Structure 1
Amino acid sequence: MTTPEADGPQPPVPYGTPDAPRIAVRGEAHLEVDPEIARLGITVTARGRDRRSALDDLTRRNTATLDLVKSYGDAVERLETGAFSITPELTRHGRGERIRTYHGAVRITAELTDFTALGELTTRLADLDLTQVDGPWWALRPDSPAHRDARAQAVREAVQRAREYAEALGTTLAALVELADIGAENPMAHPPAAGRMRSAAYSMAAETETAAPLDLEPERQHVYAAVNARFTMHPPRL
């Protein structure tokens, strides 16, 4: 009894053949570059004996904060309001509870690209009453050229590594079989976690004199890329 032959093309052998040996390599790139943006988290608070007075005070402080940030013009690339709240504070009164005061808060995010203005703006914001500033958080844009450069460097390293393996066997590469991002073949794989950005909190302050601008040094950003690559090579003479 003979086994019938398949009519369609046969799937490729995963690990190559003696006539077309395969090389599987990994290429990686680690770049250290200057940040492109800095984010500030701003929390404006207010309180009053009744809801309306707390809301009026919060509106006034919020407007003053937004006007201050907008005064820096093109140095501010993005300005967003993230959350708003008015919360009553309860206190015991006899056998029951009553509202003692109201607390209001508005959370704002400012994104700057001009780091020369960052220190001055941070100081002026922290100098406002009932205002907290968090940050800066340094980052790259999602479409930063640094990401493309890292991917290209990872590919070049994979090709170079494969060539070195082939040369060690006294042969050369024949063709590229596959190129994949790390994690593309295994959805459960995750890239290394990025380093945490430094942050600092500046609580509200009320000084008679304007504080000197903070000297903020941008934190270098680490960009990582990795690829898996498979090549065929000409049969070596062993």
Structure 2
Amino acid sequence: MTVPYGTPDAPRIAVRGEAHLEVDPEIARITITVAARGKDRRTALDDLTHRNTTALNLLKTYGDAVERLETGSFSVTPELKEHGRSERIHAYHGRVHITAELTDFTALGELTTKLADLDLTRVDGPWWALRPTSPAYRQARQQAVREAVQRAKEYAEALGTSLAALLELADIGTEDPEPRFVGKASRSRSMAFEAQTAGDTGAAPLDLEPQRQHVHAHVNARFTMAPPTL
């Protein structure tokens, strides 16, 4: 029969190990919203198709710097006239949402500026993050385990004894600091860039500073120790 709190011959000790790391981000995400407006549906759709293609072609010129490129929602919506008894369509509005994930932060500032310089184009971001497979998570978990062992040893040494065996090691979760497009301001740095008017000259590339990421790991550990002399 197992005794949950140990015995005088095999006393147990339970500790918590924690690790907190601050590391550089590995990826940056931006969202691009391309818009179009026309008096009829076909004009709006043709303009939207053209502007969407222009934005995608620009993103693709950055090659491997853009690790992932995805098209999200697409819409073409009629705008009704505000006055009059009958419902008459005044214009059509089209939108396409694009998500880009970059690993080259040097190219990021230049790319966001060029995208924002396109007609009827909005850029949001960047959102800094680590990959799910980042070595930082493994490092944090291992550091938390080492801290738990060290803490248990210190308790045992305070009693004039030593650890005997590990009974249990429980991973109680590693927090993911990545915002995934939403989250607290402390976890992401977001800014919006609107396209310039036709008369404006091209803007200089933005200087974007990557935001450090915080990784936390926690474990619970239980050990037995040699009976102390009290």
Kindly report the root-mean-square deviation, in angstroms, between the aligned alpha carbons of the 2 structures. Answer: 1.5
Report the secondary structure of 1:182's partner residue. strand
Task: Answer yes or no: is the 8 Å Cα contact 2:177–2:214 preserved in 1.
Answer: no
- The within-5 A match list for 1:223-238 is 223-238=215-230
2:196 aligned with 1:205, yes or no? yes
Cross-structure match for 2:140: 150
- Higher mean alpha-carbon deviation, 206-215 vs 52-61, is at 206-215
Alpha-carbon distance in structure 1 between the residues aligned to 2:161 and 2:49: 74
Equivalent residue for 1:6?
none
1:118 aligned partner, one-letter code: L
Structure 1 residues 193, 77: closer, same or farther in 2, change over 3 A?
closer
Larger mean Cα displacement after TM superposition, 207-216 or 70-79: 207-216
> C-alpha displacement at 1:143, in angstroms?
0.1
Q: How many residues are treated as equivalent by the alignment?
A: 222
Residues 1:98 and 1:202: Cα distance change in structure 2 (over 3 Å): same
**Where does the alignment leave 5 or more consecutive residues of structure 2 unmatched?**
179-185
Map of 1:164-203 to 2, 5 A cutoff?
164-182=154-172, 195-203=186-194
| Cα distance in 2 for residues equivalent to 1:56 and 1:39 | 28
Matched, 1:50 2:40: yes
Offset from partner CA, 1:212-233 (integer Å, 9 cap, x none): 0000000000000000000000
Once the two structures are overlaid, the 10-residue window that deviates more, 174-183 or 60-69, is: 174-183
**1:50-89 alignment to 2 at 5 Å?**
50-89=40-79
User: Structure 1 CA distance, aligned partners of 2:28 and 2:35?
Assistant: 23
- Which residue of 1 is the match for residue 181 of structure 2? none
TM-score norm. by structure 2 comes to 0.93
For residue 116 of structure 1, give the secondary structure of its aligned residue in structure 2: helix
Structure 1: which 4+ aligned runs deviate by more than 6 Å?
none
TM-score by length of 1: 0.90
Change (3 A) 1:45 1:118: same
Report % sequence identity: 76
Letter in 2 for 1:230: R
- Name the CA distance, whole Å, in 2 between partners of 1:56 and 1:131: 16
